[in-house]
Amino acid sequence: MQKAIFLDKDGTLVTDVPYNVNTSVVRLEKGVLEGLTALQTSGYLLVIISNQPGISMGLFSQNELEYLIAYMRDLFAKYDINITGFYYCPHKPAQKEENKINCSCRKPEPGLILQAAEELDIDLNESWMIGDILNDVEAGVRAGCRTILINNGNETEWEMNLVRMPDYLAGDFHDASEYILSQTLM
């Protein structure tokens, strides 16, 4: 089995521009290239786990998202960074309990992480989830990963409980990657 870094996309890898599929607007967050390179060099698979409700909300099509995914894979490949998988949930969040659909893939549910782990033969106990909101942390904890929250101002609710407590609170992606690598050496 392999170890992996599960990565939120918006606000973690790229600047959070709501419902964006326009490649000309994509901007990498500080430290992402250096951090991903170091993690990959240390033997981690890199897997993106993302909520993409814009599809079900009619804001963009699945084809438009697939084009963005291909663009991001190509962008990282220019720096010899391999994105092993890109898993996304197309469902929108329910505003009311009666509108809730039976979805196990929308973070904070762990479904996408569990799917990726099964398909890519990943050891969840040796893996990490990095995100910018506590729903990312919760998905990682519930899947059995260690977790890092990048405290970049995107988390606004701060609803804490045992499954929403990250193993580490990072200032940026570079800080997150350094922490993981320091734990790997221990």
Q: Which residues are catalytic?
A: 8, 10
Q: How far apart are CA 31 and CA 35, in angstroms?
A: 6
Strands across the sheet containing 45-51: 83-89, 45-51, 4-7, 128-131, 146-150, 168-170
Structural contact between residues 52 and 90, judged by C-beta atoms closer than 8 angstroms: yes
Helix (H) or strand (E) holding 143: helix 134-143
Both tokens assigned to 118: 């099964």
Q: How far apart are CA 186 and CA 179, in angstroms?
A: 11
**Chain Cα centroid distance, residue 116:** 12
The three state secondary structure string of 62-87 is HHHHHHHHHHHHHHHHCCCCCEEEEE
Please tell me whether residue 91 adopts helix, strand or coil conformation.
coil
